[in-house]
């Protein structure tokens, strides 16, 4: 009886090339799929961060106007007295003028001695960024330097509507040529944010 000798058969070069080609195709597909997932996750993270910042902006404005006080302040020249509550339409040519400026109370002071709880704050739209401005003193001097804190980027519009105590409305406070109470009854804020849309909130003043 003759023994049967079996020769081991390996892969041919063509089979190896085909296998490598298939592996490469799957690797490219997997890499591109992972890239799309990571890009989508990054966009979601950016959008979630913007939503959080937008929510913080409205909370910040709500807290400021709810603690509004009828206390005017002197300007840098020490001559003119600014009203307790000032609102004006946004003007890209007047980059130094805030759209909303007011005196607020309820500020915590951690230093020694007795300090006022009043603070002058403002909101300004500059180069697509909404800023919150605070002054270290109420009555300013030429050397007074305000602190600017960025709140939200990608802002296309910052619009205000004021509701007077008698029921009148307008985009300017105090109303030009009219006699108003020091503080409005409420202020409506509209923010237009790039890629998100327009958002409108109504806040009661000194509530």
User: Residue 9's pLDDT is what?
Assistant: 62
The fold of the 13-107+117-207 domain, in CATH, is Pili subunits (3.10.610)
Adjacency order of strands within the sheet including 119-126: 85-87, 100-104, 119-126, 129-134, 147-153
Q: What is the pLDDT of residues 88-121, one digit of tens each?
A: 998 877 767 889 999 999 776 655 555 678 999 9
Ordered by start, the domain boundaries in the chain are 13-107+117-207
Mean per-residue pLDDT for 122-151? 92
Given a cut of 80, whether residue 46 has pLDDT beyond it is no
Query: Do the beta carbons of residue 120 and residue 135 sit within 8 Å?
Result: yes
* pTM, full prediction: 0.74
The radius of gyration of the chain from alpha carbons, rounded to an integer in Å, stands at: 31
């Amino acid at each position: 009886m003759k023994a049967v000798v079996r020769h081991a058969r390996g892969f041919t070069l063509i089979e190896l090339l085909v296998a490598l080609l298939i592996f490469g195709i799957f690797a490219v597909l997997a890499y591109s799929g992972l890239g799309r997932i990571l890009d989508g996750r990054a966009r979601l993270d950016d959008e979630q961060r913007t939503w959080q910042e937008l929510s913080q902006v409205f909370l910040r404005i709500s807290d400021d106007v709810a603690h509004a006080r009828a206390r005017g302040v002197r300007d840098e020249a020490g001559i003119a007295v600014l009203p307790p509550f000032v609102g004006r339409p946004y003007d890209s040519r007047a980059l130094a003028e805030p759209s909303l400026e007011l005196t607020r109370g309820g500020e915590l002071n951690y230093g020694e001695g007795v300090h006022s709880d009043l603070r002058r704050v403002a909101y300004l739209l500059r180069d697509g960024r909404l800023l919150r401005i605070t002054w270290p003193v109420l009555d300013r001097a030429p050397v007074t330097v305000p602190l600017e804190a960025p709140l939200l980027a990608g802002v296309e519009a910052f619009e205000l509507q004021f509701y007077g105590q008698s029921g009148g409305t307008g985009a300017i406070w105090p109303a030009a040529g009219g006699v108003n109470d020091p503080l409005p009854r409420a202020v409506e804020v509209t923010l237009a944010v790039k890629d998100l849309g327009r958002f409108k909130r109504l806040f009661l003043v000194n509530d």
